C-alpha cells in the first residue's frame, strides 16, 4: 500500500477514535461559547462546564452530549484523510532525501499546510455541528427574554429561532435561507485562523514530544502510552494557541443571518471583549482542554497503530 493510501486509511481511523472520545467535551464547549450574555442581574444558563453537563443530561439525556455528532461523523473520513495525507505529502516535499527525518520546524510547516487544506472541510462541518449543539442553550435564552426587550432579543440567533432535526436539516435550511453554498462557509476566516496555526503547533509539538521521549529522532520504538501522551500534549498545544479564534468562529456560525449581531470576525472579537472581557474569549476553555488530551491521544495512537499495520 502506498504512503498516500496509508495516510488516508490511518487518518480515517484516527479521526473516528478522536470523535468518539472527544465529542461530549466539544458539545459542552460549544454550549458555553454560544450562550448569550445574560441581562444585568440575571445568571447565565450554565454556570460552568459541570453545570452544563448536568443540565444537558437532565434536559436531553446522555444522548444530548453527542448531539451534532452526525455531521463530523459523516465527514470524519474526508477531514482526517485530508489532514494526514496533506501533512504526509508536505513532509515528502520538505524532506531533503528519502528516509531522512524532518526537523521540528519542518513539521510545523507541514502542519500549517495541512491546516489550510482542512479548513475548507472543517468550516461547513463545524457550522452544522455548532448549530445543533448550541440550539438548546440559545433556545432557552430566547424563551427567557423579556417581552419587548430589544436588547435581550437581539442576542437571540437563528439557531434559537430554528429547531433543527439533524445535520441534513441544518444544511437544507442554510442552503435555502442563508445564501446557498456560501452560507455553509460562514466563519471560514476564523476557521483558517484556527486550523493553520493550530495544526502547525499540534504536529510540531507531537514530533518534538516523541523525539524528547525517544532521546533522538528515531521514535519507532515508542510504546502506546508514549504515543497517547505525545498526542495529548499536542492536542493541548493546538487549543492553547488558537482558542479565542474558535470562540469567534462559534459565535459567527450560530449568529442570526437576517439580523446579525456581528458584521465579521473583528467585530465579533471586539464585541465579545466589550461584553465579557478577555474571559469571554475563553468560554468553554476547560472542556476544550479536558477533551484535547484524551481525544488527540486516541487519534494519534489509532493513526500510528493503523499505519504500522498497513
Q: Please spell the DSSP secondary structure of 33-69, one letter per residue.
A: HHSPPPPTT---S-SSHHHHHHHHHHHH-GGGGGTTT
Average pLDDT score over the chain = 86
Per-residue pLDDT band at 71 (split at 50, 70, 90): low
Supply the pTM of this predicted model.
Answer: 0.80
Handedness of CA 72, 78, 79, 80 (dihedral sign): positive
pLDDT reported for residue 1: 66
pLDDT reported for residue 139: 55
Length of the chain (residues): 310
Contact 274, 195 (CB under 8 A): no
Read off the C-alpha cell for 173. Answer: 435550511
Which candidate, 101, 85, 86, 123, places its Cα nearest to that of 246? 123
pLDDT at 158 over 50: no
pLDDT at 160 over 70: no
Out of 127-131, 160-164, 202-206, 288-292, which region has the weakest mean confidence (pLDDT)?
160-164
Q: What is the mean pLDDT of residues 10-18?
A: 88
Which candidate, 193, 176, 175, 169, places its Cα nearest to that of 252? 193
Contact 114, 199 (CB under 8 A): yes
Measure the CA–CA gap between 272 and 251, rounded to whole angstroms.
9
Per-residue pLDDT of 244-294, as tens digits, reads 999 999 999 999 898 999 999 999 999 999 999 999 999 889 888 988 899
Measure the CA–CA gap between 220 and 99, rounded to whole angstroms.
13
Across 180-213, b (16+ Cβ under 10 Å) vs e yields eeebbbbbbbbbbbbbbbbbbbbbbbbbbbbbeb
* Helices marked H in the chain: 3-34, 49-60, 70-94, 104-144, 150-153, 158-161, 167-177, 181-184, 188-214, 224-253, 265-276, 285-309
Per-residue pLDDT of 194-250, as tens digits, reads 999 999 999 999 999 999 999 998 898 999 999 999 999 999 999 999 999 999 999
pLDDT at 33 over 90: no
Read off the C-alpha cell for 99. Answer: 528516509
Measure the CA–CA gap between 1 and 65, rounded to whole angstroms.
38
Measure the CA–CA gap between 97 and 262, rounded to whole angstroms.
49
pLDDT reported for residue 97: 83
Amino acid at each position: 500500500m502506498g504512503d498516500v493510501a496509508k495516510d488516508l486509511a490511518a487518518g480515517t481511523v484516527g479521526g473516528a477514535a478522536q470523535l468518539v472520545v472527544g465529542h461530549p467535551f466539544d458539545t459542552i464547549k460549544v454550549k458555553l461559547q454560544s450562550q448569550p450574555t445574560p441581562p444585568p442581574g440575571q445568571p447565565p444558563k450554565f454556570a460552568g462546564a459541570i453545570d452544563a453537563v448536568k443540565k444537558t443530561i437532565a434536559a436531553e439525556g446522555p444522548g444530548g452530549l453527542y448531539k451534532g455528532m452526525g455531521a463530523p461523523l459523516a465527514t470524519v473520513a474526508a477531514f482526517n484523510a485530508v489532514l494526514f495525507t496533506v501533512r504526509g505529502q508536505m513532509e515528502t516535499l520538505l524532506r531533503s532525501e528519502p528516509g531522512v527525518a524532518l526537523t521540528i520546524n519542518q513539521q510545523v510547516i507541514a502542519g500549517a499546510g495541512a491546516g489550510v487544506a482542512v479548513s475548507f472541510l472543517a468550516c461547513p462541518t463545524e457550522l452544522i455541528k455548532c448549530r445543533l449543539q448550541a440550539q438548546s442553550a440559545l433556545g432557552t435564552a430566547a424563551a427567557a427574554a423579556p417581552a419587548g426587550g430589544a436588547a435581550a432579543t437581539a442576542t437571540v440567533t437563528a439557531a434559537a429561532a430554528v429547531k433543527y432535526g439533524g445535520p441534513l436539516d441544518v444544511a437544507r435550511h442554510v442552503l435555502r435561507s442563508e445564501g446557498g453554498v456560501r452560507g455553509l462557509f460562514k466563519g471560514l476566516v476564523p476557521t483558517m485562523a484556527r486550523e493553520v496555526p493550530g495544526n502547525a503547533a499540534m504536529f510540531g509539538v507531537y514530533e518534538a514530544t516523541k523525539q524528547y521521549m525517544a532521546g533522538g529522532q528515531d521514535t519507532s520504538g515508542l510504546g502506546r502510552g508514549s504515543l497517547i501522551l505525545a498526542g495529548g500534549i499536542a492536542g493541548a498545544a493546538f487549543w492553547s494557541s488558537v482558542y479565542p479564534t474558535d470562540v469567534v468562529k462559534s459565535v459567527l456560525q450560530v449568529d442570526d443571518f437576517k439580523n446579525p449581531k456581528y458584521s465579521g470576525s473583528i467585530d465579533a472579537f471586539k464585541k465579545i471583549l466589550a461584553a465579557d472581557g478577555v474571559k469571554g474569549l475563553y468560554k468553554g476553555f476547560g472542556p476544550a482542554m479536558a477533551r484535547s488530551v484524551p481525544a488527540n491521544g486516541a487519534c494519534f495512537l489509532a493513526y500510528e497503530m493503523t499505519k504500522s499495520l498497513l
